[in-house]
């Protein structure tokens, strides 16, 4: 809001809603009451998110465990005859800073 004070929050959220409906961004909800948005790439990928349930920090890692997740994706897709478009995995826990008692 500091960068563009003339643009209202409602305009920003309407634009994000439109971009979500158009498939340009993905709305992420980690159950903490705050929405986050991620730009969708043309190439389907595997996204692993680590979410701190204390401070809300989100760490994204798209490479670890990729082969195991790919195998699971293929098995589920075949078992349920379901075309999977995107794969997201969320791990909820505590970040290093919160475990050390930081802010």
**11 in the same domain as 59:** no
**Residue 35's Cα: distance from chain center in Å?**
9
58 and 16 belong to one structural domain: no
Please list the helix, strand and coil fractions of the chain in percent, rounded to the nearest 5, in that order: 30, 25, 40
Q: Domain range holding 13?
A: 1-40
- Total domain count, the chain: 2
Indicate the SS3 state at residue 30.
coil
Decide: helix, strand or coil at residue 63. coil
CATH of the domain at 92: 3.30.1490.190
Structure tokens at 10: 């409602």
pLDDT tens-place string over residues 64-84 = 667 788 889 899 999 999 998
Q: Give the span between the Cα atoms of 58 and 38, in whole angstroms.
A: 12
**Domain identity same for 98 and 59:** yes
Q: Are 26 and 66 part of one and the same domain?
A: no
Specify the pTM. Answer: 0.58
- What tens digit of pLDDT does each residue of 28-67 get? 887 778 888 888 776 566 778 888 888 888 888 766 667 7
- Residue written as tokens 């730009």? 39
The answer to whether residues 64 and 100 belong to one domain is: yes
pLDDT-derived band of residue 94, with 50, 70 and 90 as boundaries?
Answer: very high
């Amino acid at each position: 809001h500091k960068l563009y004070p003339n643009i209202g929050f409602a305009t920003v959220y309407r634009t994000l809603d439109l971009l979500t409906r158009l498939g340009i961004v993905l709305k992420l909800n980690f159950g903490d009451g705050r929405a986050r948005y991620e730009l969708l790439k043309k190439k389907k990928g595997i996204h692993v998110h680590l979410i701190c349930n204390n401070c809300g920090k989100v760490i994204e890692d798209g490479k670890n465990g990729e082969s195991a997740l790919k195998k699971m994706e293929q098995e589920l897709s075949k078992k349920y005859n379901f075309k999977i478009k995107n794969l997201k995995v969320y791990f909820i826990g505590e970040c290093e800073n919160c475990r050390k008692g930081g802010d």
